[in-house]
Chain A
Amino acid sequence: MATKLFAFVLALVVLGGCRDDVCARKSDCAHGLTCSAEGTCVAAPDGGLSESATDAATESATDAATDAAIIDGGM
């Protein structure tokens, strides 16, 4: 029974899993790509920067500006 189930799923994976161009989740796509509503991997609108990376860049720029203002104000 288990062997038949395994063979069935394996056959499905071999037959259907060869489609690397389709996606069901964002993590199915390579870095810099995202999963479209049509289920294909396309270039991410932010050029591959993830939301957290964008947030981190914005946060460090804000911190740098704040530090500069403190230094200027203190002199």
Chain B
Amino acid sequence: MISILAMLALGAPAHADPAAPLWDAELRLGYGLQVSSGDGMTAPRAAPLTIEGLAAFALQDDPMVYAYAGGIVETLDRSAIGASGGVQVESGPMRLRGGAVYFFAPYTLFGATASGGGCHRMAKSMRACADLALTEYFAGTDLVQGHAATQVQLVLGMVFDGN
């Protein structure tokens, strides 16, 4: 993670941007803050670390629109497993993403998520990405009744392009 940040900051040798891939696979690590929202907000506290593995497939080009889906786990101070999916729009190195998150064990949690950020090509078929993600959990057994939970995360991703 530190090496990715260092390379992003220092400017690793740029590779020529090949044609947009028809599919890619991504490993994402997210960490940040969460607050209770709804009927009054609480002070922020650290959110769990999320680890996500996603696959994205192109739906259309110009602009490139992808559908993505995959698995997600929460870890550090808890363990939970779930799935996520949605739509991603890419324009050059920038990307926007919107979708849904569902944790199903050991508790349930439903949320809507949106993120935006950019990627830097590290190799012919590998990109390092950083996104700011906002997730609103609005239903599930892990929520306090009448409250939602809002999570803000910095997400670092490593994308492996298909063809």
Give me the interface of A with B, judged by CB distance under 8 Å: 1-3, 5-6, 8-10, 12-13, 16-17, 19-20, 22-28, 35-39
Contact = CB atoms under 8 A, between A and B. Distances in A.
A17 B45 CA distance: 4
Nearest to B8: A2
B7 to A, nearest CB: 10
Given A19-B45, A20-B45, A9 B142 contact: no
A24 B46 CA distance: 10
Interface string B56-68: 0000000000000
A11 B149 CA distance: 20
B69 interface: no
Interface of B: 5, 8-9, 31-37, 39-40, 42-46, 48, 77-78, 80, 107, 109, 117-118, 130, 132, 137, 141-147, 149-150, 152-154, 156
A20 B42 CA distance: 12
B142 A22 contact: no
Contact of B142 (A10, A27, A38): A27
A12 B44 CA distance: 9
Given A5-B154, A24-B149, A26-B107, A37 B144 contact: yes
